[in-house]
Structure 1
Amino acid sequence: MISTLGTPTHPEQTLSPNQSLRPLTSRINSRGHLEIGGCDVVELVRQFGSPLYILDEWTLRRACQLYRDTWARCYAGGSRVLYATKAWNCLAICALALQEGLGLDVASGGELYTALQAGAKGEDLYLHGNAKSLDELNLALETGCTLVVDSLYELQQVSALTTPARPARLLLRVNPGIDVHTHEYIRTGQTDSKFGIGRWQLPEVLDFLAAHPQLQCVGLHAHIGSQIFDLQGHRDLAGVLAQIWRQGLDRGLPLQELNVGGGLGIRYVKSDDPPSIPEWVETVATAVQQAFAQAGIPLPKVLCEPGRSVIGPAAVTAYTLGGQKRIPPSDDLPQGRTYITIDGGMSDNPRPITYQARYTALLANRPEAEATQRVTVAGKHCESGDVLLKDVLLPAPMAGEVLVVLATGAYNYSMASNYNRFPRPAAVLVNEGEAQLIVRRETYADLIRQDVLPERLLR
């Protein structure tokens, strides 16, 4: 069932979610505390502990609907939005995306299994990966999942697993040779990339597909990167894919679906200025329609696979503040530095230490207090690089207060680890004043559940 949202009740609910720093239901309640989804964040921490992932259902649904409805309005060839579950994959989020009529883009056997357990059917699922195992390929074939094939080697593997009675439905992932301005680790469309079939390889690959009809290549896929603000790369992509589409049609391939990837960025700090979800969809839809019209080819069904721009703005992470350490001014550090500790860090958010990612934070106890003190928020892990926020302005923070880091829905839970044997945090879904647990907090017992201790090592 596809749900709909009621009339917005808060000013920010009229924004595109990826352009808002806060979840769309955020407000200050009568106690002066930050409230999300009708739930007092300070009280959520008291009830569920911290660190705590807090996911606003309204914001998540709004992003899904903006993608879905804008495509339906402005593209004539038919469309489907696939939520890229690698951004955050768990049962509740997969089920919610399915409720909104989205399919699911999965990037491993584990993500595929989770999606299936959440109620997804084969026709809802697209499996990515540049090095899929035989077990993953077999699981995809058994469930009717569409394979997004990444290489000639993978095509050869799939061919050996299929028969005319057991064909494989697949998209061919091509590397468009388009570079974009984002962190080098999240560029995926440039020529020097581990992903996709290079254009110099295409003739051999297309000939292989034409010679193996049990490999039902129903379309093309390309993805140029993540956290992208510039729309030109997406315009260029449409023209490249139309050319490759023509080559596939000339070989008799049954092409129907064109997956243009995702990659739309979100606002992490005030200076970020991403296009809105409707602007992104309208740009891509126009580019595809123009490119295929110029090539004299009927319009394909278009798929896109947003992840960050769907889930990122919908969640925050709440921490409890600890002690402070003041570094006096020096020649190397003229202003000195004040460190304030939190009860989490790189194990629940590895993006700052991995990508030098920046975030915005506030105090849930006093979200409207004037930010007068420059602090560096340090995690509690045994790494000097475990710094979540460097030299940011906050109201003079006090131990025991709740620090909220905004826009942490994408790649925080999904990349979380047990480094230093930290249990991973809980997650709650908030909506209309109700908070529901969607991920339990790990315990110390969970940390050793997979450990095996040989008897000869016992004392």
Structure 2
Amino acid sequence: MNSVSIKKTANGAEYLKSVQIGSDCLDVDQRGILTIGGVAADRLVAEFGSPLFVISESTVRQNFRAVRRAFSERWPAPVNVMYAIKANNNLAVRAIVSAEGGGGDCFGMGELYATFQGGADPALIAMNGSLKTAQEIDEAVRRGVTINIDAEDEIDKVCAAARKYGVRAKVMLRLKILNDYLRNVGSDYMGISDEAGIYDRIEAIKFGFGPDMAAALTRRLADLPELDHVGFHYHVGRYSLRKDVITELYSGFAQAVVRLHEQTGFWPRIVDIGGGIPRERDPESRQLALNQLKIDDYAETVCGALLSNLKTTGLPTPALWLEPGRYIIGNASVLLTTIGTIKRDLGRIWVNVDSSTNLLMRIDTSASRYHILPATGMTRSFKEPALIVGLTCIPSVFSANQSIPDLAAGDVLAILDTGMYSETTSTQFNGVPRPATVLVNDGDAELIKARETVEDVFRLHQIPERLRGE
């Protein structure tokens, strides 16, 4: 994998400069305090408490525009950039994407609700999922959402809802593409070696239809007047940063679309390529080094692979839908966390903070690695390595070898790139309430999600009367 190594730096300010990317809204003020969207970290913690998720509105907008520009410049038909709300479901973030003209990918009733609370245009929204209930399908059809069919029995449910509302429901089929090339290609994110390959992982995953079933269902959809079959969906997610792998994945999708046309006569008006766009600071690569595969390189690779195969038919180029989540929100969020105690023993240093890896679950589930800054001591010289650990009763290691300056209880650390799969996968382990979230922009900070209380953690619990004491 091409990457840029992280050089040894003297302090937090230098470290930030060495890993900073174009859409970051991070700086250091004259006091040596980290600022996010023009708001100092110490002010944010004083006003809103700690730990605290801080989202930069400007970064969200910049990232969305970068994706839209990169693909629109390379695709000769309309492009719909659809925010994958599973990455971060703050309603304010969805509202920002809606204001930018973005579509959306949603899963189930909860994400459908959140998507429309954020002002989304139903014509630009798709519903995914391998088990969609009749209620979810009914609501999606009622709202005019495109449904990506991922189970055969969904078809009857969509038809029933379409008849109920007197509409032709828009649908796509989700495809599963198996390519022998992938038998010897690994995944940094999945921790799969090249020798093991990702072929078996893709084959075993529950999503998508193989070629024979896809052809049969395409023929079936053509005979159903209640349904408007508009295209095909394909999502493999974040497997690799290698251009050859990306080329094979999307060439395989385009070739499958062409074969289905040859078998059924159907040609899509839309191809939905899902998400999985790698980022420059990419925690899921399991390393801190920067990724050199920029958004323009990625778009060039994907569009080239698709178009070179689709154009062989001489048929019109379909509209392109894509579902980025991590790329749009990843570096837009910073987790501020306050040091509670520092323990020195056995030649080690443990810096204990008031958050835990239950807020960044992919550290424990996928070995993701995050950059950590001394937010209230950015110009203090680094002196020694330490372990940054959380407060819960598991090891909760944010970093096992973090360079730190002189620190003390009350100092604030900043963990970068916490926008994706942090808040949406966080838990209340040990009964610890989850943090508040604020939105920053041009020096202003606004609360967009309130901090939980202990009472909130247990609000839905009930003790049967027979178990209550007299």
Query: If the length of structure 1 is used for normalisation, what is the TM-score?
Result: 0.88
State the alpha-carbon separation in 2 of the partners of residues 283 and 191 from structure 1: 24
Q: 1:130 to 1:417 in 2, by over 3 A?
A: same
Tell me which residue corresponds to 2:445.
435
Question: How high is the sequence identity, in percent, across the aligned residues?
Answer: 31
Q: Which moved more, 1:116-125 or 1:56-65?
A: 116-125
In the alignment, structure 1 residue 190 sits paired with structure 2 residue 202: yes
State the alpha-carbon separation in 1 of the partners of residues 274 and 214 from structure 2: 19
State the alpha-carbon separation in 2 of the partners of residues 133 and 371 from structure 1: 54
Tell me which residue corresponds to 1:394.
404
Alpha carbon RMSD of aligned pairs, Å? 2.3
Task: Note the 1:50-449 alignment, pairs <5 A.
Answer: 50-163=50-163, 165-177=166-178, 179=182, 181-184=187-190, 190-226=202-238, 228-250=240-262, 251-253=264-266, 255-266=268-279, 267=281, 268=283, 270-328=288-346, 336-384=347-395, 386-449=396-459
Q: 1:389 to 1:313 in 2, by over 3 A?
A: same
Aligned-residue offset at 1:196: 1.1
State the alpha-carbon separation in 2 of the partners of residues 185 and 445 from structure 1: 39
Aligned residue for 1:370, secondary structure, equals coil
Aligned residue for 1:152, secondary structure, equals coil
Cα contact 1:79–1:303 (8 A) shared by 2: yes
Aligned-residue offset at 1:356: 1.2
Aligned-residue offset at 1:248: 4.3
Q: 1:89 to 1:227 in 2, by over 3 A?
A: farther
State the alpha-carbon separation in 2 of the partners of residues 149 and 182 from structure 1: 29
Cα offsets for 1:182-201 (capped at 9, x unmatched) = 33399798222111112343
**Runs of 5+ consecutive residues of structure 2 not aligned to the other structure:** 1-18, 193-197
Q: Which moved more, 1:239-248 or 1:155-164?
A: 155-164
Tell me which residue corresponds to 1:45.
45
Q: Moved runs in structure 1, 4+ residues, more than 6 A?
A: 185-189
State the alpha-carbon separation in 2 of the partners of residues 405 and 239 from structure 1: 37
Letter in 2 for 1:400: G
State the alpha-carbon separation in 2 of the partners of residues 419 and 23 from structure 1: 33
**Runs of 5+ consecutive residues of structure 1 not aligned to the other structure:** 1-18, 329-335
State the alpha-carbon separation in 1 of the partners of residues 152 and 206 from structure 2: 13
Cα contact 1:36–1:430 (8 A) shared by 2: yes
Cα offsets for 1:192-227 (capped at 9, x unmatched) = 211111234323222322332323220111112226
Aligned residue for 2:73, secondary structure, equals helix
Aligned-residue offset at 1:161: 4.0
Number of residues of Structure 1 aligned to a counterpart in Structure 2: 433
Cα contact 1:51–1:319 (8 A) shared by 2: yes
Aligned-residue offset at 1:88: 0.2
Aligned-residue offset at 1:21: 5.7
Letter in 2 for 1:256: R
Cα contact 2:84–2:324 (8 A) shared by 1: yes
Tell me which residue corresponds to 2:5.
none
Query: If the length of structure 2 is used for normalisation, what is the TM-score?
Result: 0.86
